[in-house]
Structure 1
């Protein structure tokens, strides 16, 4: 009789432990894992176009709102290629084509002395989204909706000059 009560207690303990384990971790089996969702951990947006990665593209608008500087980095994981960036500037399509070698990262507007892509009279205010089309070689391009920010904080020196119109 003593062996039965020990066996009963052991079985009850196992059942209780199993029910606690399933009760506290069961939602893991039906809830999607958030770390599998892609997001951009910064102010800008990014995309992969063919073999090229567009990293943290953000628009910095000048004080009078007449010009935006695109700040971004483009990294090529494939062979040498051309990357084309197209945006509406002053009512017309502006196209910039940049060769990018294999393994190279090209930056635009990331420092006050860096080459800038300037969009004139963009019809977008600070806080808005600027449509920018990016294409690599023959790969299908992507339309990015780039956030436009005021030139404050870390971006204070990256805006285009106020004299541009």
Structure 2
């Protein structure tokens, strides 16, 4: 009788470990960061947080409009430096963000930031450099979208 009890316990233990073993070894999916929209979130490149960045361009992809939310959670104003292109076609823009505020580009209240000479067709990514404050800055691929979706139609250059 004791051997049956021990065998039952051993079998039960194997079943429990066998059915839950995957959860012990795999990464919990809800802890993996991702961008839940069409744009991308730029990893911290200084005191400013750059969220949901994307570019809206027409079919030729010559010029585009930058859409983003730039958050300053500090008590000091900061400037976001953005660069794109290479060599003689390199361009840059600066966006000043007041303390404890958010600048949203491409909303009903604020126009998107025009980017001339991106030469990137919709469906591709444009490498852009983002830097603020004393941060090191980061080069990140920003998606270029077209105006096919109704809510991007008004954002075309």
- Does 2:9 align with 1:14? yes
CA distance in 1, matches of 2:97, 2:46: 14
Out of 98, 101, 105, the position equivalent to 2:99 is 101
Q: TM-score, normalised by structure 1?
A: 0.81
CA contact (8 A) 2:63 2:119 kept: no
Partner-residue secondary structure (3-state), 2:115: strand
Report the TM-score when normalising by structure 2: 0.85
Gaps of 5+ in 2: none
Q: Is the 8 A contact 1:133 1:144 kept in 2?
A: yes
State the SS of the aligned residue for 2:4: helix
**Structure 1: gaps (5+ residues):** 161-165
Asked if 2 retains the 8 angstrom alpha-carbon contact of 1:81 and 1:137, the reply is: no
Shift of 1:64: 4.7
- Residue 33 of structure 1 corresponds to 28
Match of 2:155 among 144, 153, 158: 158
Which structure has the bigger radius of gyration? 1
Residues paired across the two proteins, number: 153
For residues 60-110 of structure 1, the C-alpha deviation after alignment (integer angstroms, 9 at most, x for no partner) is: 0035533200000011222223232323479242222312312x1110113
